[in-house]
Amino acid sequence: MTVYEGRRTIDGLVVTVDGKRLDEHYEVKRFTRFGFEWTYEGDSPQQLALAILFDRLGNKERAIRLSQFHVSITAKPAQICGRGRRIGCVG
């Protein structure tokens, strides 16, 4: 199972996938210049959704298209895994 986990640090949010830092994948599409965020609808949560989707799918077009549904991935992260720190669990 692949685990995406996020935490807040003094330098902002850090998101990891199986313990390794998740890249923002600005080369795919840049929704924001402020990095990742979650718990609301906006550009930074959409960037996080895009990064997760691209990491999983490896397809730029599909990741961009699906990132518009970022609310279900990043706006309510605790509901995805039932834990406040995990932002997504994908089997």
* 6 occurs within a structural domain: yes
Instruction: List the domain range (segments joined by +) for residue 51.
Output: 2-23+33-90
So what's the pLDDT on residue 50?
A: 94
The structure's pTM equals 0.78
* Half-sphere exposure at residue 90, Cβ-oriented, CA atoms within 13 angstroms: 14
**What's the pLDDT tens digit per position in 26-68?**
999 999 999 998 888 889 989 999 999 999 999 999 999 988 8
* 40 occurs within a structural domain: yes
Structural domain count, the chain: 1
Enumerate residues 6+ apart whose C-beta is below 8 A from 75.
38, 39, 40, 41, 45
* 28 occurs within a structural domain: no
**Closest Cα partner for 12 from 46, 43, 35?**
35
Share the mean pLDDT of the chain. Answer: 82
